[in-house]
Amino acid sequence: MNSEKESNEDSPFIRVHQESNENQRGEIHNFTIENREKPTQETAWKSIYIGGLCSFIQTTQFTIFFPSMWPYILTLQPDLKQSSFGIVVAAYSFTQCIFSPLFGYWSNKIGQVRFPMIVGFIIMAFGNIVYLSLQYWPAYHLDVMMFSRLVAGAGSGNVSLLRAYASTASLSKDRSKAIACVSGGIAIGSMIGPGLQLLFTPLGTDGITVLGLKINIYTAPALLCLVINTIGLLIVKFAFVEKHIQLVDQNAENGEKGEGKKNKLMNPCMVAISVCIFTRFTQQFINTTIESIDASYSMMMFSFEKEEAVAMNATMHTISGAIAAALYLCFIFTGVRK
């Protein structure tokens, strides 16, 4: 019994005790939420905001390449067909679909999201390094680009953990706002990511050479992703404190004390879940399709040169991203969601 008690005291998870309020009538209870570091009765907003920032970082690495990938691969391999490029774009989402449930299973198995998040950042960083090395593979440009996107997509599979964490680290009254923080980071990253390409248009196709590495309008996004990958990894490593809220039911009528029995979760509504999945799929399908073909479409319809197409599409995404960011911030920090 003593060993079991000690193991419970050392557990990294939050224990929630439901205590009856003797000064009030009815079925009103006080919930004492205890963390190993500091007791709290609040939603873990700090870690949720960090989760929103991490979701922004991860999604940005998916979309920042869209304006420049097609012009870049045409520069390296002018005879490439659009259908082959479509496979490259799909490679990222393909591995993300596979690794998202795997990250979820792993997270449930070890009882935390922090370590899978760190591993995901490391995998994405490796994918960006492969993308940077594309210039050194003259005979395998398409294959190396596809491999880099496959690796980066696998690392981004951990973004699904952030939504789950937002729901388990928030009280029911704050849950919509908490999930909106993470979903907002994903949406804003998907809209603003392509706009960040504007930062590198002054480099042009010639760019600069540093230690034998050519940094230009096409390769600079991968370098930026490496930087923000490192920032995200350090944030998760040193600033992200994982806190879960688990409600535990006690028999207050009989005056029993102890851990009690965990409340059983309601069975999920599969119809509602299916509608949410289909809605999210439709949204992502439209966004990804537009972002995949916008560079080639603008070059064909408006006779843009490669650099002009990159700059124009990046400007377009910057404007739409600013609108999306304003709407999400309004939803998160105002009473509109109510």
Domain ranges of the chain: 45-245+269-334
pLDDT value at position 255? 45
Q: Average pLDDT in the 302-329 region?
A: 78
pLDDT averaged over every residue in the chain: 77
What's the rounded Cα separation, in Å, for the pair 30 and 330? 32
Q: Where are the alpha helices (DSSP H) in 37-81?
A: 45-63, 66-76
pLDDT value at position 337? 59
* Residue 82 pLDDT exceeds 80: no
Collapsed DSSP state (helix, strand, coil) of residue 208:
strand
pLDDT value at position 246? 54
pLDDT band with cut points at 50, 70 and 90 for residue 23: very low
What's the rounded Cα separation, in Å, for the pair 224 and 32? 44
Collapsed DSSP state (helix, strand, coil) of residue 219:
coil
pLDDT value at position 318? 76
Residue 181 vs residue 22, higher pLDDT: 181
User: Which amino acid is located at 230 in the chain?
Assistant: T
pLDDT value at position 36? 37
Q: Average pLDDT in the 281-288 region?
A: 80
* Residue 34 pLDDT exceeds 80: no
The topology (CATH level 3) of 45-245+269-334 is Growth Hormone; Chain: A; (1.20.1250)
DSSP letter for 133, please: G
DSSP letter for 81, please: -
Distances in Å between the Cα of 51 and the Cα atoms of 35, 97, 148, 161, 303 are 19, 20, 25, 9, 42
* Residue 247 pLDDT exceeds 60: no
